[in-house]
Structure 1
């Protein structure tokens, strides 16, 4: 399973847009796209994939995933939100992301959140997640190897890879389903407040 270790090295799992990397000045859309492409370009699955496009950003704005921009420029707060969206869209639908970020957008507009501190906490958790993930992968590799013991050599490589892929997808689905239920809880809580 050396192959999976090589894959993990290529993924740049520790790649995050840090507060230090976010310019102090507001950026135009093309500058935002370039910033994200420079930061996350190495983690694309295919070379032709785009990290971020004008259409994506416009859809985030139209869909109210981010609060309105001023003078066609994106603030530090917008960049933090776009970074969160970039990470969340790997596991949640755009509608679920909108529900999740709705309260955050309101807090930003009202000035009711120290967004730098919140984002720092988020980045700390992301770093811890990567450490936990690396340990979990090692355990999963051992478990898969135990399952394919006794198989003929020509069969075991393919079956080992298949079981590893299946296991990773299953874990991903379990985490996504819990996240979706938490989003559903936000919607129920929000609806309950409206009816009072």
Structure 2
């Protein structure tokens, strides 16, 4: 069995290997659905938990459109902007409900999707993902600090060997999980606030 230190080293290597889809890698031509799913799978395959997992399927795309997360394609073809939104959805869907993503996306799709006014969606994408490198460094430091803190737990319990190692691993996972839990609640609170002040929702209530 791996030691906790070996696990920490694996996590550091994983975080250092992460990258995002760069806009220049997205084709300049509109794509059919099969081409979109192939593109996404090729570029995000390293983020899958299991090899058999699917990054994106036709059913997923149809569900996103049905739930107003993704504008309809033009003559069954998807633009670069569709792909940019699909990338955002890929990261959000494991954290937020479709209802929350729809609320979060509405101002983006209304003002910046295929629009001649405002900032292009590609510029928004570039600005957000330009912060990734710094974010990864901060996340790495936070995970390391939680690991070191968990490594000091159960010091006075007279434990040793595999039992102590596992309880410290459990402690580390709990710290990471509590952090995710709180941040998810904060995100949901912000989106609920957006929903309460959204003119579209206010109009529906009248």
TM-score by length of 1: 0.91
1:94 matched residue in structure 2? 98
2:159 matched residue in structure 1? 152
Which structure is higher in helix share? Answer: 1
In structure 1, which of residues 160, 185, 188 is the aligned counterpart of residue 193 of structure 2? 185
In the TM superposition, residue 193 of structure 1 has moved relative to its aligned partner by 5.6
Deviations 1:100-149 (A, max 9, x none): 00111111244333222211111023332211100101111111112233
Secondary structure of the 1:31 match is helix
Q: Which runs of 5+ in 1 are unaligned?
A: none
In structure 1, which of residues 105, 108, 113 is the aligned counterpart of residue 109 of structure 2? 105
Task: Say whether the 8 Å CA contact 1:15–1:39 is kept in structure 2.
Answer: no
> 2-side partners of 1:51 and 1:8: how far apart?
23
1:163 matched residue in structure 2? 171
In the TM superposition, residue 11 of structure 1 has moved relative to its aligned partner by 6.2
> 2-side partners of 1:65 and 1:80: how far apart?
12
> 2-side partners of 1:19 and 1:70: how far apart?
20
Task: Say whether the 8 Å CA contact 1:99–1:187 is kept in structure 2.
Answer: yes
In the TM superposition, residue 13 of structure 1 has moved relative to its aligned partner by 6.3
2:143 matched residue in structure 1? 137
Task: Say whether the 8 Å CA contact 1:12–1:42 is kept in structure 2.
Answer: no
In structure 1, which of residues 34, 38, 43 is the aligned counterpart of residue 42 of structure 2? 38
> 1-side partners of 2:56 and 2:16: how far apart?
17
1:120 aligns with 2:126: yes
The RMSD of aligned alpha carbons is 2.0
Q: Which runs of 5+ in 2 are unaligned?
A: none
Q: What is the aligned residue count?
A: 196
1:17 aligns with 2:24: no
